[in-house]
């Protein structure tokens, strides 16, 4: 009976998204100066190995570039560590997107509306793109932005400190985003239909 209900949910999901797509928004070049990474972790979600689940959404301007939900490769000992590990993992994805967007061979087109039915096209290159990480865990942000010694982080491996170095050198920015506004929340948690619909609209996912 459990499998029957699970199959029903899968079919319902497939039906709901059958005609959905991702909207690509046309904006001014200024809105493409930022890559925004929404990061979220579900602490010890795996009942067998007690590994946490990480979720992220990468947005360039107002257009979604990438998203993923995956199990972290090591066990975290607290929620803060899971969130920090997630942010570190997803910054690597953000850096890859940044390198791609800075390719000298890439050109972008912007549309300038001159009237209600007239559009002028201009070509531009993306010279600079900042990376902003949005996180809903205050402890993670404190450790990223503060150089003091923390007893609870002494067991962390070296690769964890790469995120802190990037932030403290001004190469990456990190900000607090409440859980109710965290777009990656739906990739790690069970949420209501209304919240799922709200986040999907914010990400530009819907029926064309």
Average pLDDT by consecutive 10-residue portion of the chain (208 residues)? 82 79 66 86 87 92 88 87 91 89 68 61 68 94 80 72 90 93 90 85 77
Global model pTM greater than 0.95: no
Architecture of domain 23-202: 2-Layer Sandwich (3.30)
So what's the pLDDT on residue 177? 95
For 50, the token pair is 């007690």
Number of H helices, E strands in the chain: 5, 9
Q: Which residue has the tokens 């932005």?
A: 145
Q: Are 84 and 143 in contact (CB under 8 A)?
A: yes
For 15, the token pair is 């039906």
So what's the pLDDT on residue 41? 94
Q: Are 33 and 128 in contact (CB under 8 A)?
A: yes
So what's the pLDDT on residue 183? 92
- Residue 191 has φ and ψ, to the nearest 5°, of -130, 165
The domain ranges of the chain are: 23-202
So what's the pLDDT on residue 25? 67
So what's the pLDDT on residue 206? 74
């Amino acid at each position: 009976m459990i499998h029957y209900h699970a199959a029903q949910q899968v079919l319902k999901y497939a039906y709901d998204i059958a005609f959905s797509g991702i909207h690509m928004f046309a904006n001014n070049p200024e809105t493409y100066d930022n890559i925004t990474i929404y990061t979220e972790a579900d602490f010890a979600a795996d009942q067998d190995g007690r590994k946490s689940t990480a979720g992220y959404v990468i947005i360039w301007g107002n257009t979604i570039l990438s998203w993923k939900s995956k199990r972290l490769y090591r066990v975290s000992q607290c929620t803060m560590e899971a969130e920090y590990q997630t942010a570190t993992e997803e910054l690597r994805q953000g850096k890859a997107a940044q390198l791609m967007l800075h390719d000298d061979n890439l050109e972008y087109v912007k549309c300038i509306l001159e009237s209600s039915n007239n559009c002028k096209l201009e070509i531009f290159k993306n010279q600079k793109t900042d990376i902003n990480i949005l996180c809903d865990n205050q402890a993670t942000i404190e450790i990223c932005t503060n150089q003091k010694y923390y007893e609870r982080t002494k067991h962390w491996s070296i690769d964890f400190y790469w995120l802190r170095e990037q932030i403290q050198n001004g190469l990456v920015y990190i900000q607090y985003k409440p859980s109710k506004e965290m777009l990656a929340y739906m990739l790690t948690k069970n949420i209501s239909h209304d919240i799922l619909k709200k986040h999907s609209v914010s990400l530009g996912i819907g029926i064309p």
